[in-house]
Structure 1
Amino acid sequence: MQPKIVVYKALPQDILEDLRRHAQVVVLAPDPGQDREALTEALGDALVDADGAIGASVKIAPATIARATRLKAISTISVGVDNFDLADLTRRGIVLAHTPDVLTESTADTVFALVLSTARRVVELAEWVKAGRWKGSIGPEHYGVDVHGKTLGIVGLGRIGGALARRAALGFDMRVLYTNRHANEPAERAYGARRVELGELLAQSDFVCLQVPLTPQTRHMIGAAQLAAMKRSAILINASRGAIVDEAALIAALADGTIAGAGLDVFEHEPLAPESKLLTMHNVVALPHIGSATHETRYAMARCAARNLLDALAGRLTHNVANPEVLTR
């Protein structure tokens, strides 16, 4: 008998058809305007007799899968796994697969785009031109700051952080500082990256880029004290998870000039509320969580996630597992 798979995010048609060749597939199609709570409830109902699930952008709490006694594997189309309770999944013997490699380069592109666009005020000045306000040569009030030759501080030098360090050091002759649980010796050799404590990184960096996963330990790791430790000319870049930054503290720091600006692809609550003060600030570039959002990368992520799920259900998945300890049970 073929396993039953619940698909809770739209997949490319060819990938969906490939899944259908190997499993009974149920596509959970949200109703227009359906809120997250209703979608989560519908997912819980669909998973009751499912063997596997594939999707993204939905929080799957223990209560969601409480009745899913057949569930063997979930494959998330993302690298981040903060939508899941890993300990609970492991206790239940459920494999959680993710896609950590295929989005590295496109996400690093997005991060560096935020560096450039905040430093050179690209979004702000593009809107200024579109508004018909360009009447002559620009003056110092519209100048940005250089990126080349500056110091880039990377909090979390993993795959994406390493790709960012390569762009910075080799492409823009930047000095790279980083904090990490462990030394990244390849990055130190190839890009001259230097491992320092967070305090030193904040004090010396012209651009501080956050590239850590969201965990209880990293939630609000950047708050008022950390922002105050940065240069007044510094720019904060966050394309990892919004809750790593205390958003209220960031708004205050941007408003009073504690730091010069911020480039943000993620927020504490998404989508960002239209009334957010961040949207009124000229020194903020705000993007709608587009880190990996290219046609090529999103397709590759979906393909990888589908393969992960089929391999997990067949008992042959040995990589891309967020809770590898479940494989040894």
Structure 2
Amino acid sequence: MSIITIIGAGQMASALTFPATENNNKIRLVGTPLDREIINTAKATGFHSTLKRQLPETGIEYYQIEDVNEAIDGAELIICGVSSFGVDWFADNILPIIPEEIPILSITKGMITEEDGKMINYPQYFLSKLPSNKKLSISAVGGPCTSYELADKDNSEVVFCGDDINLLRKFKSLFETSYYHISLSTDIVGVECAVALKNAYALGVSLAIGLAIGADGSGKEHYNSQAALFGQSIKEAKRILEIVGGGEENIIYFGGDLYVTVFGGRTRRIGTLLGQGFSFEEAMEQLKGVTLESVVIATRAAKYVRCLAERGVVKLSDFPMITHIDEIINSDGKVNIPWKAFESEKIL
């Protein structure tokens, strides 16, 4: 049994309590300043108000953020469970109080774009925020897994990535169950890039849903168009993975995560609304209060490829999908899928 402190009581972080407690670990679930009601409700009833599930009856202790030091004391693993919008808060407020001997496992998917356009993953970003005299071990989780279905114990295949394979093996022993299957990889750059990009491209694939059902929602969902956009997503993401130096096998995690994201959730909703003809502002108004990480990563990925194009590293015409998504969400562009730009010739 190990003591695992999860900081951030969001849906995925809380869903991890299911496999963790099944392995007889003791979980300390700490809410961020935005999770106060979630923690209060879960502590009183065991019900998670956004995951909409009863959390495990035993093995979990609940903490508000002011008790975070108590929750960290004696822990053998810290899980960063914040969304991408909470990354800076975690870096500024939590990293400084974590002892060097406690490893961190981040479930937050996304990338940071630096001023020169370079993209770095969140573990890299966290490490860059540490003072020069402090060292922390930061690994991450990727792969296709929705919080709801993990809580329902549907079979899920994920990947734990980090620099230390022996540490990853230890993490695997803490979480793996008959339904939560874990691969391991030391290619943290490739894994993190793959699973971050899926949010951006899932928004793009979901445009086809809105186009098919129409402005009034009375149309029928089509799959040829979604498949075409799915294929173009694979093509562009594969190229980006090559550029950042990630192994080509990581396209599996991108593809799987893209598939599950298109079939449900927040990213599908924003893409569908845009495809139906709503402006970005109108769509965002309808989804007020919903965390939309897809918008953030689409903007950052597009900035990255535009910077690469300016430097002559790539041709912008090789990324028609991500640039079109960027135009829609950042330049008030109208949905007009550049189908002709997806065509190619291959001569053997």
TM range (shorter): 0.3 to 0.5
Bigger relative CO (Cα 8 Å, ≥ 6 apart): 1
* Higher Cα Rg, which structure: 1
TM-score by length of structure 2 reads: 0.36
Q: Which has the higher helix share?
A: 2
TM-score by length of structure 1 reads: 0.38
